[in-house]
Structure 1
Amino acid sequence: MAMGSKLSLFFLSLGFVAYSSSASHNDPSVVGYSQEDLALPYKLVDLFSSWSVKHSKIYVSPEEKVKRYEVFKQNLKHIVETNRRNGSYWLGLNQFADVAHEEFKSTYLGLKTGMDGPARAPTAFRYENSVNLPWSVDWRKKGAVTPVKNQGECGSCWAFSTVAAVEGINQIATGKLESLSEQELMDCDTTFDHGCGGGFMDFAFAYIMGNLGIHTDDDYPYLMEEGYCKEKQPQSKVVTISGYEDVPENSEVSLLKALAHQPISVGIAAGSKDFQFYKRGVFEGSCGTELDHALTAVGYGSSDGQDYIIMKNSWGKSWGEQGYFRIKRGTGKPEGVCSIYSMASYPTKSITGHGA
């Protein structure tokens, strides 16, 4: 069969997959393009070009462009094959479509649970006796979640997860939603955490406590790289916490109890291609083999018979469901899908404290 005919059949099948998924789930762009575009007999290079324009990709040399084109083809094949056999979640051509998977893991997954530092000691769990939990919770609707941020090409997910949890408890305690500084953690929390080289949320919570607060984004904006720690300015605003606690391991009920009261920092095993290209739906598929990424749980609910937890990611709004990720709960596995119940923690805050 001629190459042109093979490409035509390939994209016709791709269009069919997109059509089948979108028709039943009201999503006209399952893989990032309309079903009409995907049903046309595009040449693969044309799709790569249009994707490059959409995501503002600029390559330093023709050789680099050829390299990325080959990666793009392999990733697209995985997306199409996965969407063909799945029924609960779908993958899409997002900003990572020209990134090889091993490169992706080393660049964007920055949770380091085995780093040198204090052991993760058992702590009190203040929500242990919570009863009559609501059927659903969404802290976005309660005004406790800032807009989705983007960590860029830096393994700083740990800082974004920490900050999102602190933003949440601060809003709950004070009524004010403040966007806080991941960059301060990158630059100043260096005893046990290592900026783009990875970190751990409990260490970051401890830093915020010891530093008597964390600055706002306006005072200490994100640079997407490690910088020098800036000294506090007398007039700068800081947001404080009074402590932090760990959620009991491998307990879905415990995580839901905590999540009913505030957003929670969570570590998951995200080192899979399915996670890299997640587009929408309730995820229950391929995971990594170790805890390597940090997100923030901001709610839970149910839809079409699927129970899920809502996670805020830090890869911008072009990834997932406008920057969010729904992961299946109620599977019966103690550790949950992608080990989501293995490591979670949250900051605590008293209304009377330093700063906000």
Structure 2
Amino acid sequence: MASSTMNLAFLLLSMFLVTCTALPGGFSIVGYSEEDLTSHDKLIELFDSWMSRHSKSYANFEEKLRRFEVFKDNLKHIDETNRQKRSYWLGLNAFADMTHDEFKATYLGVSTSMPRRRDSGSSFRYENAVDLPKSVDWRKKGAVTHVKNQGHCGSCWAFSTVAAVEGINQIVTGNLTSLSEQELIDCDSENNGCHGGLMDYAFSYIASTGGLHTEDDYPYLMEEGTCERTRADLEVVTISGYEDVPENSEESLLKALAHQPVSVAIEASGRDFQFYSGGVFDGSCGSELDHGVTAVGYGSSKGQDYFTVKNSWGQRWGERGYIRMKRNTGKPQGLCGINKMASYPTKHA
């Protein structure tokens, strides 16, 4: 079909225009400019540019039209939110052609229906910690690997687990080693692979089976595969066990986080979370936990206290793959339930 005909079809389907007021940070941060919102032609150009930037293609013209409608609806939400001048902003990331229901079904994966099991004899070793630093960033301390991407697999629980294990291993041994999420997906039978799981179960698996292989030796497939524990002659990283942070206690989470990266669960199903692009997030969310991430630090910015959280949606989401989530909210469970289900691996020196 000729380009002019395609553009005409887009024009007939386009129903979204907004007025121009200042945007936070411009195109480089949010992925669109004020000029993009001034006409139907500009919206079409923006969509084509977004497709190119994120290497998007569709099976047929009808699917492209459908995704353009979804894109416009998402852009409208992003722009309306940004004009509220909040402490965070949203952007046209790789999820901009997905409906919110599609996004939730694909990228979340903590199974709170699974009973949380306490490690026998577990305690909270940081209970009596005092004189905590005002800020902590385990990335600067060399205990955090590159941001990874779980893709179309509900394996966030594995990425949360692995990031925490990578952290404690570096703290104890001095070696930062990227470890295998795929091994957990394939071999940890107490969890459900791409269909969700719990970090505590994964910690228990690693401790009881003698360790976790490296990412290079057991690479990520973005789908469930066959367990290959026969790679036993290759390098593994071990932990001795895990401990749970007392529930609904931000003070306890800070104590743990001052000593090592911590696996946490949050409610990430809010629409603003899908398009978070930067700033200190204080958006609307509940505490129905559905996503596993890893807290890797805390600090303050412009009077707002926050947790620094590593996600597993790639480096193009958020702040190069991270989100700063507001703390000191006055709610025991914390923003998006971040204080409800935190845990960390232990490792003997």
Provide, for residues 262-305 of structure 1, a one-character-per-residue CA deviation record: whole Å limited to 9, x for no partner. Answer: 00000001111000000000011111551000110000001111
State how many pairs are aligned: 337
* Partner of residue 126, structure 2: 127
CA 1:56–1:281: 2 relative to 1, 3 Å: same
User: In structure 2, the residue corresponding to 1:52 is in which secondary structure?
Assistant: helix
* Partner of residue 84, structure 1: 83
* Partner of residue 112, structure 1: 111
Equivalent AA in structure 2 for residue 246 of structure 1: D
Asked whether the equivalents of residues 267 and 291 of structure 1 are also in contact (C-alpha less than 8 Å), the reply is yes
Superposition deviation, residue 115 in structure 1: 1.8
* Partner of residue 178, structure 1: 177
Equivalent AA in structure 2 for residue 220 of structure 1: Y
User: Gaps spanning 5+ residues in structure 2: where?
Assistant: 1-9
CA 1:58–1:132: 2 relative to 1, 3 Å: same
User: In structure 1, the residue corresponding to 2:28 is in which secondary structure?
Assistant: coil
* Partner of residue 331, structure 1: 329
Report whether the alignment pairs 1:66 with 2:65.
yes
Identical aligned residues as a percent: 64
Q: Which moved further from structure 2: 127-136 or 282-291?
A: 282-291
Superposition deviation, residue 217 in structure 1: 0.4
* Partner of residue 17, structure 2: 10
Provide, for residues 187-229 of structure 1, a one-character-per-residue CA deviation record: whole Å limited to 9, x for no partner. Answer: 0002x21111001000000000111100000110000000000
Report whether the alignment pairs 1:53 with 2:52.
yes
CA 1:69–1:326: 2 relative to 1, 3 Å: same
Picking from 275, 278, 282, the partner of 2:276 is: 278
User: Gaps spanning 5+ residues in structure 1: where?
Assistant: 352-356
- TM-score normalised by structure 2 residue count: 0.92
* Partner of residue 290, structure 1: 288
Residues 1-356 of structure 1: pairs in structure 2 closer than 5 A: 10=17, 13=20, 16-18=21-23, 21-22=24-25, 29-33=28-32, 35=33, 38=36, 41=39, 42-115=41-114, 118=117, 123-190=122-189, 192-288=190-286, 290-351=288-349
Asked whether the equivalents of residues 17 and 38 of structure 2 are also in contact (C-alpha less than 8 Å), the reply is no
Query: For 1:338 and 1:117, how far apart are their aligned partners in 2?
Result: 19
Asked whether the equivalents of residues 119 and 242 of structure 2 are also in contact (C-alpha less than 8 Å), the reply is no
Equivalent AA in structure 1 for residue 275 of structure 2: F
Q: Which moved further from structure 2: 278-287 or 61-70?
A: 61-70
CA 1:282–1:122: 2 relative to 1, 3 Å: farther
Superposition deviation, residue 17 in structure 1: 3.5
Alignment RMSD: 2.1
Equivalent AA in structure 2 for residue 165 of structure 1: A
User: In structure 2, the residue corresponding to 1:229 is in which secondary structure?
Assistant: coil
Superposition deviation, residue 51 in structure 1: 0.6
CA 1:239–1:113: 2 relative to 1, 3 Å: same
Asked whether the equivalents of residues 275 and 286 of structure 1 are also in contact (C-alpha less than 8 Å), the reply is no
Asked whether the equivalents of residues 245 and 252 of structure 2 are also in contact (C-alpha less than 8 Å), the reply is yes
User: In structure 2, the residue corresponding to 1:254 is in which secondary structure?
Assistant: helix
Query: For 2:131 and 2:36, how far apart are their aligned partners in 1?
Result: 47
CA 1:44–1:134: 2 relative to 1, 3 Å: same
- TM-score normalised by structure 1 residue count: 0.90
User: In structure 2, the residue corresponding to 1:162 is in which secondary structure?
Assistant: helix
Equivalent AA in structure 2 for residue 160 of structure 1: F
Asked whether the equivalents of residues 287 and 337 of structure 2 are also in contact (C-alpha less than 8 Å), the reply is no
Query: For 1:113 and 1:271, how far apart are their aligned partners in 2?
Result: 14
Asked whether the equivalents of residues 8 and 43 of structure 1 are also in contact (C-alpha less than 8 Å), the reply is no
Query: For 1:296 and 1:130, how far apart are their aligned partners in 2?
Result: 21
Superposition deviation, residue 117 in structure 1: 7.2
Query: For 1:81 and 1:292, how far apart are their aligned partners in 2?
Result: 26
Equivalent AA in structure 2 for residue 313 of structure 1: N
Asked whether the equivalents of residues 109 and 292 of structure 2 are also in contact (C-alpha less than 8 Å), the reply is yes
Superposition deviation, residue 158 in structure 1: 0.3
Superposition deviation, residue 63 in structure 1: 1.9
Query: For 1:11 and 1:323, how far apart are their aligned partners in 2?
Result: 29
User: In structure 1, the residue corresponding to 2:50 is in which secondary structure?
Assistant: helix
Equivalent AA in structure 1 for residue 45 of structure 2: D
Query: For 2:122 and 2:116, how far apart are their aligned partners in 1?
Result: 17
Asked whether the equivalents of residues 271 and 289 of structure 1 are also in contact (C-alpha less than 8 Å), the reply is no
Provide, for residues 221-243 of structure 1, a one-character-per-residue CA deviation record: whole Å limited to 9, x for no partner. Answer: 00000000013334300000001
CA 1:222–1:202: 2 relative to 1, 3 Å: same
